[in-house]
Amino acid sequence: MKKYFTIPYKVLYLQILAHLGLAYHLFYGDVWMWIVSLVVFVISGCFGLVMTYHRLLAHNSWPASSTYRKIGSLLGSYAGIGSPMVWTAVHRAHHKFVDTAKDPHSPEHLGFARVQFLGMFGQAGGEHIIDMLRDKFQTNLNRYYFHLHILVGIVWLVINPALFICAYLAPMALLWEIGGSVNTINHLFGYKNKENPKHHAYNNPITGYMFFGEGWHANHHDDPLNYTTKQKWWEFDLAGLMIKLVK
């Protein structure tokens, strides 16, 4: 029987808590708390989600050591969008079936709101992640994903409840919303450097600059195995620059 993978709905409960924390942070957060949130947003978002989840694990677009793969996977897991293994399965299915009815998060077929807020809850077959199913670290990280979040949450609460909000909940909610906007905005609005009938992805400066180069999305779909999304001089790709420095 074919096995399907999807991000558990426990992630939704985690994100509801994170969004409540972000709402509190917006009204009552001090300057130092916002600085902490920004630092965590960059570390978990750029080094974890973009460099590791997306460009390394999902596309194998750059060579990385086993140590970096593990550290980057943990940094990405901190963002609360699901384990690297399940996220990769859904993303690889997205590329295989991009902008069709089988695309697990196509705004054209599922609607803007569903993809923006629930898009990562699509499912994908295990055939998309055969390599990761053979990786003991990744399978264990998938199995104990929520145990890890419970531990992290308790640690921040014990150290300082303010850090539980600004170093954990608020960045998690921001990464969910800004990361999700790449799946919505960038498949509906923007420009292309060249026409490609295989996808409806667009480049958009808003998500391009806000999310470490992920918003140059048409470029990425044109060449998904390239570690950088930059084609024009103004298309700044922070993640691609970091990969160039560390690979």
Tell me the mean pLDDT per 10 residues along the chain, length 247: 68 93 95 97 98 98 96 97 93 92 84 77 84 96 95 97 98 94 92 92 96 97 97 97 94
- CA gap 5, 122 in Å, rounded: 9
Q: What is the dihedral of CA 2, 91, 7, 209, to 10 degrees?
A: 180
- CA gap 77, 90 in Å, rounded: 15
Taking alpha carbons only, the member of 224, 232, 228, 220 closest to residue 244 is 228
- CA gap 203, 213 in Å, rounded: 10
- CA gap 130, 135 in Å, rounded: 9
Give kind and range of the element (H or E) at residue 4. Answer: strand 4-6
Give the per-residue pLDDT at 6: 74
Give the per-residue pLDDT at 95: 93
- Alpha carbon 57 to its chain centroid, in Å, reads 11
Give the per-residue pLDDT at 117: 78
Taking alpha carbons only, the member of 168, 183, 171 closest to residue 117 is 183
- CA gap 11, 151 in Å, rounded: 15
Give the per-residue pLDDT at 4: 62
- CA gap 17, 70 in Å, rounded: 26
Angle at 126 between CA 41 and CA 207, to 5 degrees: 30
- Alpha carbon 219 to its chain centroid, in Å, reads 18
Q: Is 191 exposed, middle or buried (0-12, 13-18, 19+ CB in 10 A)?
A: exposed
Give the per-residue pLDDT at 17: 96
Give kind and range of the element (H or E) at residue 222. Answer: helix 217-222
Taking alpha carbons only, the member of 145, 166, 167 closest to residue 80 is 145
Give the per-residue pLDDT at 1: 47
